[in-house]
Homo-oligomer: A and B are copies of this chain.
Amino acid sequence: MTLKAIVIGLMATSVLAGSAIAQDQIKIGVSIPAATHGFMGGLNWHAAEAEKRLEAANPNIDLIIVTADGPADQASDLEDLVSVHGIQALVVLPFESEPLTEPVRAVKDSGAFITVVDRGLTDPSIQDVYVSGNNTEMGKVSAEYMKTRLGEGDNIVILRGIPTVLDTERFDAFMAEIEGSGINVLDNKFANWNRDDGFEVMQDFLSRFPDIDGVWAQDDDITLGVVEAVKAAGRDKELFIVGGAGMKEIVKGVMDGDELVPVDVLYPPAQIATAMDVTVAHFVSNGPVRGSYILGSPLITQENAAQFYFPDSPF
């Protein structure tokens, strides 16, 4: 029996019962990593905002957000969402792909509609819809901006994240786009998507290279460390930095015309809200909700920054 058939069946039952309003409710579980700061903190905030908005707009939708401290904790959350809450759909951002694949398959086997966010499962056939950022476009858009500011003979350094498929996609797309521009990449080093490593790696770059025109930091946490190192070295008038994600402090700076970090490239923690939107649409819309929704990575500039600025989010 399809989900819609179940819902129609339940609605018929509740009409017959004459009261049982609770049976009209469509329960949607949302399982994400717990966090109060950083990218995942922003993602938690956006999930809570989307819950408020979607429940207010759709009285028959009940969203249940559960946050986990690790893969095993998340697997147990998924079991509860089925056995305790009886969810009809799941929105899940898996902690890790491999250990969550079978737990999500079990939810699917219970008959629930499955929306996977950001990190894919080992078996993509489990999901009904996939919502994710676009790392390739992120690298490409960053390089396109570099080319508008720099040319033949100019020097840049690159701070990378953690050695992962995701990082490689960003890096390869960036390198492909600047090829032939004459821009020199002096060096690239991993900075592990955190501020302290960003600071250290950039200190090293600054001591080794007397002439740097641009920095691709590819991540806003790394960018914070890079900014600190550049200012400490008094070289903030010589170069500019391009980060990535859409951290509110960075977006605010872009909005205010900061020259050291003049733009940002979106890789939105708010993608969880997009995933919740399409999952609700599966139950309320005549439009199909299936397939793959790969979010763009637009360049955030002073002109458009306002639409990417969420002052109340922790990120």
Q: Does A277 sit within 8 A of B, measured CB to CB?
A: yes
Say whether A303 faces chain B, with CB atoms less than 8 Å apart. yes
Question: How far, in whole Å, are A272 and B290 apart by their CA atoms in the complex?
Answer: 14
Query: Is A57 engaged at the interface, CB distance under 8 Å to the other chain?
Result: yes
The size bracket of the interface on A is 35 or more
Contact of A46 among B5, B271, B286 (CB under 8 A): B286
Is A291 part of the contact surface with B, judged by Cβ < 8 Å?
yes
In the assembled complex, which residues on chain B have CB atoms less than 8 Å from the CB atom of A186? none
Complexed CA–CA distance, A274 and B287 (Å): 4
Let me know if B276 and A306 touch, CB within 8 A.
no
Given A272-B287, A277-B285, the answer on whether A2 and B307 have CB atoms closer than 8 Å is: yes
Most B CB within 10 A of own CB, among A272, A285, A289, A310: A285
Once the chains bind, are A286 and B270 in contact (CB under 8 Å)? yes
Contact of A53 among B46, B273, B286, B304 (CB under 8 A): B286
Q: Which B residues touch A135, using CB under 8 A?
A: none
Taking CB as reference atom, which chain B residue is nearest A246? B288
A296 touches which one: B5, B275, B290, B295 (CB < 8 A)?
B290
Shortest CB distance A216–B (Å): 21
Within A1-58, which residues are at the interface with B (CB < 8 Å)? 1-5, 46, 49-50, 53, 57-58
> Would you mind naming 7 contact pairs between A and B with Cβ atoms under 8 Å apart?
A2-B304, A53-B286, A268-B287, A274-B281, A288-B295, A291-B294, A291-B296
What is the interface of chain A, defined by CB distance below 8 A to chain B? 1-5, 46, 49-50, 53, 57-58, 128-129, 134, 137, 266, 268, 270-278, 281, 284-298, 303-304, 306-308, 310
